[in-house]
Amino acid sequence: MLSFGAESFVFQVAIQKFKDQDTVYGTIILPVVLYGCETCSLTRREERKLRVFENMALRRIFGRRTNEVTGEWRRLYNEELNDLYSSPNIVRVIKSRRMRWAGHVACLGEEMGGVEGLGRETGGKETTGET
C-alpha cells in the first residue's frame, strides 16, 4: 500500500498526464473503487462514505475556484462538482452494476445454478446438514 505522500504524487502525475480531467476519475479511480461492488450490499453509512470519497477526489481533480466578490480561493461546493462531472454519482453506478449482475445471474438459467443465487424456488429438497 502506498503512503499518503506517494498516493498524492501518483494522483498528481495522473492528473497531469490526462488532458481531460474527467478521464482521470473515470478510468483510474472509479474502476478501483467499484471492483467487486456488484455482489456486496451497501448500508446507508457506506453509501455516504462513498459519496464523500467521490466528492473529495473530484475536488482534488477540479481544483479550487475564486470567489467572485472577495477574490479569495475557495473549495468547490457539491452542486458545482455535480455540474462539472456530469456522470451519475458512485452510488448510482454501483446500484446499476448490481442490477446488471443480477440480470446476468438470472439469464444463466436453472442448468447453471443461476436461479438459486436469486433466492427462487428450485423444486428440490432442502438439506439441513445433519446425517
Which ranges constitute the DSSP H helices of 2-125?
A: 4-17, 21-24, 30-34, 44-62, 78-84, 90-108
Q: Does residue 121 form part of some domain?
A: no
Q: Does residue 115 form part of some domain?
A: no
CA pair distance 81, 103, nearest whole angstrom: 32
Q: Does residue 123 form part of some domain?
A: no
Q: Does residue 18 form part of some domain?
A: yes
Q: Does residue 25 form part of some domain?
A: yes
The pTM of this model reads 0.61
**How many distinct structural domains can be found in the chain?**
1
Q: Does residue 50 form part of some domain?
A: yes
CA pair distance 66, 76, nearest whole angstrom: 9
pLDDT tens-digit series, residues 4-42 = 455 566 666 655 555 566 677 777 788 888 887 777 788
For 98, the domain range is 13-109
Q: Does residue 52 form part of some domain?
A: yes
pLDDT tens-digit series, residues 70-98 = 889 988 888 888 888 878 888 888 888 88
Angle at 67 between CA 66 and CA 72, to 5 degrees: 70
